[in-house]
Amino acid sequence: MTSRTFTRISNLIHLFLMLSLVFSGNILQRVTSLGINYGQVGNNLPSPDKVINLLRSLRITKTRIYDTNPQILTSFANSNIEIIVTIENQVLPMLQDPQQALQWVNSHIKPYVPATRITGIMVGNELFTDDDSSLIGYMMPAIINIHKALVQLGLDRYIQVSSPSSLAVLGESYPPSAGSFKPEVSSVMQQLLAFLEATKSPFWINAYPYFAYKDSPKEIPIDYVLFNRNIGMTDPNTRLHYDNMMYAQVDAVAFAAAKLGYRNIEVRVAETGWPSKGDAGEVGASPMNAATYNRNLMMRQFAGEGTPARRNERLDVYIFALFNEDMKPGPTSEKNYGIFRPDGSLAYNLGFSTMSTTTANSESVTYSSSATKAKRNLEYWTILISAMIQVVMSRLF
């Protein structure tokens, strides 16, 4: 039996096992690896209670916000939706003082738990970029002080502390096995990884294949960045095959962490997405590409897929973003990452009929009859089954 035949047989077995999980109902735990970012930089966004209804209709149980908005945290009480909050970058200098960190947790976190399921605190966002390295020095003292405050208040068992990085922290990322951190952040990354290992917390990255494609559309195949079927690439050092760029980016971070001695740190994706509209020079920003990227990503999440380097560990991913945000600075693309418009209508057709009539303006998510509910459940399970078949078949051929 050739190795190729053996691989095909193994993948068929994998498919049958996944289908058995679907029919036993156990596959639901796999879908929890999908979350969505809930940005608020807009003047026309729906109220938090309507956002809750929207998330429920999508069967999404995880979200992340970019602050600690009291209205959102209050509204999400008893919703059973997990929420990650963010400490804004400009607050980090204040948190160098342990007492200020304790006061921050007392005022921004403690009043809302346990009714609101706050599961994580992001200390800043992308504190190191190619254009600005001034904030990275504040990261570790702030992380340590926030965690100590959580311990003091008895909340550390429920709330993880981390900080999402952009791929700018990597000095090398291709092939994935060559992944390594830039020398100027290596010491800080070592400290962060040690903290994450000690607290059993994940390393979060913001991974945007769109940016790579926009900068080099002639060199990077569009199907490779959109999760479409393509020949992909094989890492010459590990012989691992990659059929999409996002998985390669995630594994590059995992290999970079391993080079610093941390081989078991879980890597999660805090942000990934594709803009549906852009300026003249923003190649690839279109409704069709945005729909393709997010649909294919969601299908893989429904299938509980892992990266080539960690095939048996599902990858947690938060899509960016829930809504288009008309007040964001920067190019047109920055305002158009949302799956939904502010009125709750889809910004583009994702191809899932269960989402086609969903609106955030609905006062509640109800079913007119048991037949309608059964139809929606059937559609949902059809998506899951087709997702798993699609993923496995892509490995067979």
Catalytic residue list = 126, 271
Which of these, 158, 133, 135, lies nearest to 147 by C-alpha position? 158
The rounded distance, in Å, linking the Cα atoms of 222 and 186 is 32
Show the tokens assigned to 71: 């209205």
242 bridge partner residues: 233
The rounded distance, in Å, linking the Cα atoms of 161 and 22 is 33
Residues 29, 18: contact at Cβ < 8 Å?
no
